[in-house]
Structure 1
Amino acid sequence: MTKHQKRLSVPKSWPVERKTDTFTVKAAGGPHGEEGVPLVILLRDVLGYVDSKKEARYALSQDAILVNGDPINDERRPIGMFDIVAFPQREEYYRVFPDEGGRLALTEIDADSADSRLGKVKGKRQVTGDVTQLSLHDGTNITVDDDGYSTNDSVVIDNESKEIVAHFPYEEGALVTAVSGNHGGKIGELLEIDVTLGSGSNIVTVDSQREDDDGEFETVEEYVVVIDENFVGEDSSSEDASGETASMGDDE
């Protein structure tokens, strides 16, 4: 398996320039699958806290960076949608959240908000012990006794106990955000779920809350995530993350 990642082939959600250099850092195995952005890219090219992978490794060796409450020791650890990246010594906390167009960006949050993270339920099944296992968007599996959860619901996971502390059903009237597609980053009320017969994706209609939008928009069900009101009114990102990145000539 190749150890290199060409810029032109990275997912559209990655906050990197495609044409400045040939290669960039390749994510290690872990959460979020191919969509996960290597942590070093956020540290170096979005926040500007390090200049190289060597500096990133040193910072990680000091337990100075937490992801979802846990210290990280691999600068290539994949970071993805709704992860919480914390710098306790700097008293800085960020949520990974899609900006306009679906590109991942960092939204600054307070310390209390950094104690938990949001997860979208991608699947559920019965496991040994007659309990239900929920599979979340980032690959996390959680067992629950209560079977009141459905696919496409959202849950809030406490970063310390790793238990569910809140549940947001996927239903008409819910507050949602589009995380991909042409409407990525938009937030609004889920007005209608149009169930498509067969193998096609369900279509949803959302009433956007952005003043510069025409109002309603349609997208596929897979592109929306139920959120709570804490996501509304936050700055879109602490850094632009719009592609104005530092040189990646030291990737190799």
Structure 2
Amino acid sequence: MTKHQKRLSVPKSWPVERKTDVFTVKAGAGPHGKEGVPLLILLRDVLGYVDSKKEARYALSEDAILVNGDPINDEQRPIGIFDIVAFPAREEYYRVFPDEGGRLSLTEVGEDAAGSRLGKIEGKQQVPGGDTQLTLHDGTNVIVEDGSEYSANDSIVIDNEDKSIVAHFPYEEGALVTAVRGNHGGKIGEVDAIDVTPGSGSNTVTVSTEDGGFETVEEYVVVIDENFTGGDD
């Protein structure tokens, strides 16, 4: 299997130039599915901290780079929306957040804010023993004793050290959301209305913003709070 990915066919969310070279690095197996951006692209093409895969591998071998609190040793590890990428030796911490247009970008945050990450609940099921498993947007699972307060499309904040839930943001009218995909990717606003579509079609959500508003499918929005909109936290 090839380790390369044609630039022209990468997802629109990837922060790479498509017409410079033919190929770029291919994401490995891991969270975020096909939308995940290889860590090497962030280190080389976005931050400019390394010039080559060899340099990236050396930095990773020194446990110099953390993703969601864990040291990473694979330069192809997929990085995606709301991940926390930390460089403790540099005292630099970034949250992956969509820019206007939906491309993934790095928003610098403080060390305290880098201690947790946001996750959108995309699935919920009971597991043997009576606990509830919450499946998040990046494919990871969180087990809770009582899942009654959580619903699909809610968001939770997970502590990167002990993996506990430290905050919960329900998906409802009045919630603050950001669009992570589609024509309105990167826009932030409040939910005005949720239109439930009968059958198997996607529900739609109307969002009001400072410059008007937009309508999109609810799969494209994630509930956040004001601490997730910039680097002042």
The TM tier, using the shorter chain, reads: over 0.9
Please give the secondary structure, in 1, of the residue aligned with 2:227.
helix
* One-letter identity of the residue aligned with 2:64: A
SS of residue paired to 2:201: coil
**CA distance in 1 between partners of 2:64 and 2:4 (Å):** 27
The structure with higher relative contact order (CA 8 Å, sep 6+) is 1
CA distance in 1, matches of 2:136, 2:189: 22
Query: 1:67-216 counterparts in 2 under 5 A?
Result: 67-147=67-147, 148-209=149-210, 213=211, 215-216=212-213
Q: How does 1:232-251 map to 2 (within 5 A)?
A: 232-234=229-231
The whole-number CA distance in structure 1 between the counterparts of 2:182 and 2:56 is 32
1:11 aligns with 2:11: yes
Aligned to 1:238: none
Q: How has the CA–CA distance of structure 1 residues 77 and 233 changed in structure 2, closer, same or farther, with 3 Å as cutoff?
A: closer
SS of 2:75's equivalent in the other structure is: coil
Report the CA distance between 1:70 and its aligned residue. Answer: 0.4
Q: Distance in 1 between matches of 2:231 and 2:192?
A: 23
- Specify the alignment match of 1:46 in structure 2: 46
TM, length-normalised to structure 2: 0.97
What's 1:217 paired with? 214
Secondary structure of 1:191's aligned partner: strand
| Structure-2 separation of matches of 1:169 and 1:152 | 8
Cα deviation, residue 208, structure 1: 1.1
How far apart, in 2, do the equivalents of 1:4 and 1:231 lie? 33
Helix, strand or coil for the counterpart of 2:106? Answer: strand
SS at 1:184 equivalent:
coil
Distance across 2 between alignment mates of 1:22 and 1:227: 37
Contact kept? 2:117, 2:159, Cα under 8 Å = yes
Identity value in percent: 81
**SS of alignment partner, residue 118 of structure 2:** strand
Number of matched pairs: 231
2:8 alignment partner AA = L
Partner of residue 55, structure 1? 55
Q: Which residue type is aligned with residue 229 of structure 2?
A: V
* 4+ residue runs over 3 A deviation: 232-235
What are the superposed Cα offsets for residues 87-140 of structure 1, whole Å, 9 maximum, x if unpaired? Answer: 000000000000001100000000000000000000010101011100000111
How far apart, CA to CA, are the structure 2 residues paired with 1:140 and 1:233? 24
**Under a length normalisation based on structure 1, what TM-score does the superposition of the two structures give?**
0.90
Gaps of 5+ in 2: none
Deviation at 1:4, TM superposition (A): 2.1
Residues 84 and 117, structure 2, Cα contact 8 Å, conserved in 1: yes
The 2-side partners of 1:68 and 1:231 are apart by: 15
Give CA deviations for 1:192-246 in whole Å, capped at 9, x if unaligned. 000111111111000113xxx3x121111100000011023548xxxxxxxxxxx
**Is there any run of 5+ residues in structure 1 with no aligned partner, and where?**
236-252
* Secondary structure in 2 matching 1:189: strand
- The answer to whether the Cα contact below 8 Å between 2:110 and 2:231 also exists between their aligned partners in 1 is no
- Secondary structure of the corresponding residue to residue 200 of structure 2: coil
Output the CA distance in 1 between the equivalents of 2:207 and 2:55.
43
Over the aligned positions, Cα root-mean-square deviation in angstroms equals 1.0
